[in-house]
């Protein structure tokens, strides 16, 4: 893992979306520091491990609509954790109305983005999204 690049975690249950996101990260040369989860519950287990190792992601990107645990529930969990509270979280989802976005901002989300249908748009969105990443700490 490159310690100069942000450590980004993506939680999205859709295989195709994860595939496109992975290739987008390759395009912007950040793919070597991205960890993907297709299940929010697996991600929650992972947070228990990395917090015990004192490792914080620079940024967490969440899908909103996922089975078992929604992006909103994951966001609530992260913001209620003293360890993860300050980690920026961005929601990247297929559809979010203004009311839902307002509730997410109240819960502490850094930004909300709509999933586009074009690869070029996704790359441009990711370039903006990664700007929310917390500065990388050199240890």
- What are the tens digits of pLDDT across the range 40-82? 999 999 999 999 999 999 999 999 999 999 999 999 999 999 9
Residue 136 has pLDDT above 70, yes or no: no
The model's confidence at residue 118, banded by pLDDT at 50, 70 and 90, is: confident
Residue entry with tokens 């395009």: 27
pLDDT band of residue 96 (cuts 50, 70, 90) is confident
Distance, CA of 109 to CA of 89 (rounded, Å): 5
Write down the mean pLDDT value for the chain.
91
Q: Write down the pLDDT at residue 28.
A: 92
Which class does domain 8-132 fall in?
alpha beta
């Amino acid at each position: 893992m490159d310690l100069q690049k942000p450590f980004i975690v993506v939680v999205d249950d859709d295989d195709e979306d994860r595939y496109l996101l992975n290739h987008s990260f390759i395009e912007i040369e950040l793919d070597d520091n991205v960890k993907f989860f297709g299940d929010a519950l697996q991600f929650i287990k992972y947070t228990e491990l990395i917090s015990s190792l004192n490792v914080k992601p620079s940024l967490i990107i969440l899908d909103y609509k996922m089975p078992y645990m929604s992006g909103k529930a994951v966001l609530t969990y992260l913001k209620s954790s003293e360890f993860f509270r300050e980690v920026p979280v961005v929601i990247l989802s297929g559809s979010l109305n203004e009311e839902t976005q307002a509730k997410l901002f109240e819960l502490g989300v850094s930004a909300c983005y709509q999933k586009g249908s074009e690869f070029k748009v996704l790359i441009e969105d990711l370039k903006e999204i990664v700007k929310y990443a917390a500065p990388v700490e050199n240890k």
